[in-house]
């Protein structure tokens, strides 16, 4: 623990250092708490990796179509997610009906 400042100038300097440290800490916490931004960054990285792998495996026109599709999903994720969720629910209902018959 530091000593108590001896004069006003030391107190001001100590205050400024403390403010700077608190600002840095709050910025770091804010970045950790921004889950949406972290998820989007992670998603962007994964899509870029997948795009690069697909470009290596398929023809250039097919790779371009994949890139266009990923941009559409990035721009409108909610309808895509809703569609996938509806598809999963439908599959589950079909499988449940088949297993009970």
Do 10 and 35 lie in a common domain?
yes
- Lowest mean pLDDT across 14-18, 26-30, 51-55: 51-55
Q: Tell me how many degrees the CA angle 58-50-34 measures, rounded to the nearest 5.
A: 160
Residue count of the chain:
101
Do 28 and 51 lie in a common domain?
yes
Nearest to 40 by CA among 68, 64, 70: 70
What does the alpha-carbon distance between residue 14 and residue 17 come to, in Å, rounded to a whole number? 5
The SS3 of residue 59 is coil
Do 1 and 50 lie in a common domain?
yes
Instruction: Give 86 or 66, the one with higher predicted confidence.
Output: 86
Q: Cβ(31)–Cβ(39) under 8 Å?
A: no
Do 52 and 69 lie in a common domain?
no
pLDDT in tens, 37-59: 888 788 778 877 887 888 788 88
Do 38 and 80 lie in a common domain?
no
Number of domains in the chain: 2
What pTM does this model have?
Answer: 0.41
Do 35 and 64 lie in a common domain?
no
Do 50 and 14 lie in a common domain?
yes
Do 44 and 71 lie in a common domain?
no
| Domain span at 81 | 60-100
Do 15 and 51 lie in a common domain?
yes
Do 73 and 36 lie in a common domain?
no
């Amino acid at each position: 623990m530091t000593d108590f400042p001896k004069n006003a100038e030391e107190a001001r300097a100590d205050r400024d250092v403390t403010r700077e440290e608190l600002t840095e800490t709050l910025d770091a916490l804010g970045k950790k708490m921004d889950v949406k931004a972290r998820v989007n960054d992670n998603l962007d990285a994964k899509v870029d990796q997948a795009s690069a792998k697909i470009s290596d495996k398929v023809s250039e026109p097919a790779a371009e179509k994949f890139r266009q599709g990923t941009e559409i999903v990035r721009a409108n994720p909610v309808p895509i997610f809703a569609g996938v969720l509806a598809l999963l629910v439908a599959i589950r209902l079909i499988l449940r009906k088949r297993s009970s018959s």
